[in-house]
Structure 1
Amino acid sequence: MTRPRLTLLGLPLDPVTLDEALGRLESWLDAGRPSAHTVVTLNPEFIMQARAEDAEQGGESAFTQAMRRADLVTADGVGIVWAARRLLGEDVPRAPGFDLASGLMRRRGAQLRVFFLGSKPGVAEAAAAAASSQYGVQVAGVHHGYFDRNEDQRVAELVRESGADLLLTGMGAGRQEMFNEYWRDVMNVPVMLGCGGVLDVLAGTAALAPDWTRRAGVEWVWRVAGDRKRWGRAPRLGQFVLLVSRQSRSGGRS
């Protein structure tokens, strides 16, 4: 029985297991076109960034709107699991972005046409080659993520013309979710997943966190500690803990 969607700190959250999430993605693939669904893998950084953008704009930001309109929002990390238990009294399973992408490619294999969009020039090509070799998927197309917003329509039309079944969009928090949401009807891809650094992991330019950190749900600690480029993101994690603690003390449920 499917559990109803939750609202965590003003954003949607679907309490689905990894298998349930993959089953839903496969049902969208089986439904065929016209069909366009967006998937968000929610983490503490998303929540803090969206709240900051909402405050700056004096209302709901495009990032927040994209997450609200997503067809599936899963818990990416242990921070979301902890917050849902603390604020909502709900046990929410994790369904991280890498596990969704790799799981779907493993299940569908050669039946699946994938467009790899994001990261630096050359990375999407390497990710596509690795995914084709490891999972047997068809490569619908590739494009780096370093393009200006005035090129969004061109890239969206490129994705549409590719006939992709799955779009992996790795352009960073906010940018990837907004791109998928805004251009969803143009691209008309059954499953569009904002996947962060998944392309880098597939390409071998970034390491997947060790199994023990993934089992414990604390791979973000390993990543932040091991990559100086991520150190600037650490304060947001601290802010998230404080936000959840304040909400919990005040009895907040939003």
Structure 2
Amino acid sequence: MAAPSSALPTSLPGGLERPERLELLGFPLDPVSLETALDLLSGWITAAPASGARTPHTVVTLNPEFIMQCRAGGPLTSEFAQAIGKADLVTADGVGIVWAARQLLNTEVPRAPGFDLTVGLMKRHGAELSVFFLGAKPGVAEAAAQKAHEQYGVRVAGVHNGYFGPDDDLRVAELVRDSGADLLLTAMGAARQEIFNEYWREVLNVPVMMGVGGVLDVLAGTANLAPAWTRRLGVEWVWRVAGDRKRWGRAPALARFVGLVQQEKRKG
């Protein structure tokens, strides 16, 4: 996996310093709160029109399944690990990462989940924010875009479903580029979405590009957001797994992650 970048932007609004990047199980992790992450992303978005130049940034919301998928081996997962390593911001998506950081680094890492980052940016910027909705099944991106516009006032730069192969990657990347979007929400599943954002970073040329998994389904209303109490505790994955038989296959990966953390703790 590529080493975490040592030249990451450090400035935040108000002259605040960005927290130093950590390394967890060989992966980069930025110990930023939700508000700090939103400040950073907002800064990248607003810097583009202010400077007249657009600098692309990728965002990864790290969870235990990402780590276990990368450690499974094979060329796809190797690319996945590299995409995470090159990301400009890597936040703790779930309680599993928070727990692992506490166990292995003796550090309390705040959570900044993908859904909260997405909605937070939309609430902050409203009609000033231009968003491209990419991924999910046909019709979902359109529904997500319409509801996001109705609820938060964001401008829809474009939509495209996630049912396209590598041969169409360049075409889609150019479509996103030509839209002039400030924010790209890529929902094509773990690995595929992060690799796409990183590989086509310079072509996409979007100030903030984030892999968001099922966020488009939630925005579209085709999937339910976990109850507020589970999200406050950081255990919404338990609610999702228990309520959706398709997700039951996630449990073994989470169990292996717990075993991995315990093994690393014994070594250290």
TM-score (normalised: structure 2): 0.91
The answer to whether 1:232 aligns with 2:243 is no
Classify the secondary structure of the residue corresponding to 2:71: helix
How far did 1:60 drift? 7.7
Give the one of 218, 223, 227 matched to 1:210: 227
Is the Cα–Cα contact under 8 Å of residues 59 and 208 in structure 2 kept in the other structure? yes
Q: Compute the RMSD of aligned alpha carbons.
A: 1.1
Q: Deviations over 1:93-147 (max 9, x none)?
A: 0000000000001100000000000100000000000000000000000000011
Give the one of 50, 61, 64 matched to 1:44: 64
CA distance in 2, matches of 1:89, 1:237: 21
Classify the secondary structure of the residue corresponding to 2:249: helix
Worse-matched range after superposition: 225-234 or 235-244: 225-234
CA distance in 2, matches of 1:2, 1:188: 23
The answer to whether 1:180 aligns with 2:197 is yes
Structure 1 segment 132-143 matched on structure 2, within 5 A: 132-143=149-160
Give the one of 106, 116, 138 matched to 2:123: 106
> Sequence identity, in percent?
71
How far did 1:217 drift? 0.3
Structure 1: 5+ residue stretches without partners? none
Is the Cα–Cα contact under 8 Å of residues 69 and 77 in structure 2 kept in the other structure? no
Q: Deviations over 1:62-113 (max 9, x none)?
A: 1000000000000000000000000001100000000000000110000000
Which ranges of 4 or more aligned residues in structure 1 deviate by more than 3 Å?
A: none
The one-letter amino acid of 2:169's match is D
How far did 1:34 drift? 2.3
CA distance in 2, matches of 1:246, 1:77: 20
Match of 2:28 in 1: 12
Count of residues in correspondence between the two structures: 248
The answer to whether 1:23 aligns with 2:39 is yes
Match of 2:102 in 1: 85
CA distance in 2, matches of 1:2, 1:180: 23
Structure 2: 5+ residue stretches without partners? 1-16
1 or 2 for the larger relative contact order (CA 8 Å, sep ≥6)? 1
Is the Cα–Cα contact under 8 Å of residues 77 and 191 in structure 2 kept in the other structure? no
Classify the secondary structure of the residue corresponding to 2:181: coil
